[in-house]
Amino acid sequence: MKKYRIEISSVAEAEADKAFLRLSQVASPTKATQWYAGLLNAIESLIQMPKRCLLARENDYFSQEIRQLLYGKGRNSYRILFTILESQDVSTVRILHIRHASQQALGEEPK
């Protein structure tokens, strides 16, 4: 089975940090730490079969294929947006954004 390398953009890292801080304020530092560890595990799962994830609604707005992995439940549901960069040597899953599920799609006109 083909394995992919994971690369996280600085924008996605900042979004994950912001979500962690918000969660530590509204829930608890322990819950936020558990959430963050789970997020990293979810991202790590993309090493194998990243194409199992559906195309994101943002896919229509970009030239690259944009997929999403859903993480969390209920109000704490997030979408991990990524693209797959294929090459002969090493194929890479590039994490582009980590967005709360209720946030507007990237590239969409404000309503």
List of domains in the chain: 5-100 (3.30.2310.20)
Query: Residue 43 has which token pair?
Result: 């991202």
Q: What is the pLDDT along the chain (111 residues), one digit of tens a residue?
A: 788 999 999 999 999 999 999 999 998 899 999 999 999 999 999 999 999 999 999 998 888 999 999 999 888 899 999 999 998 888 999 999 999 988 878 876 665
The whole-model pTM stands at 0.91
Opening angle at CA 105, ends 23 and 100, nearest 5? 10
41: region left, alpha or beta (phi > 0 left; psi from -120 to 50 alpha)? alpha
For residue 18, the model assigns a pLDDT of 95
Query: What radius of gyration, in Å, describes the C-alpha atoms of the chain?
Result: 14
**DSSP H helix total and E strand total for the chain:** 2, 4
